[in-house]
Amino acid sequence: MEFGKILIMAGIFLIVLGLFISVVGRLPGDIYIKRDNFVFYFPITTSILFSIIFSLLFYIFSRFFR
């Protein structure tokens, strides 16, 4: 597989991921605390989801270049 095709696939994936994030916003399980002058947001569920997705992508890419 050519490097250019890999970059195109990665770009399409990032576009789809960006659209997903903008539509979904916060996921259930993300910590969001809002007080008078304080806002704390920790996207733990989103971080876990991104970790799984990127781990799968790197695994797939490593299989191509073995």
Tell me what the mean pLDDT of segment 29-58 comes to.
88
Per-residue pLDDT at 1 exceeds 60: no
The domain ranges of the chain are 3-64
Which of the listed ranges 28-32, 35-39, 51-55 does the model predict with the highest average pLDDT?
35-39
Distance CA 34, CA 41 (A): 8
Tokens of 56: 């799968």
Measure Cα distances from 20 to 25, 27, 34, 46, 65 in Å: 8, 11, 24, 11, 29
- Residue 46, pLDDT score: 81
Q: Name the pTM for this structure.
A: 0.56
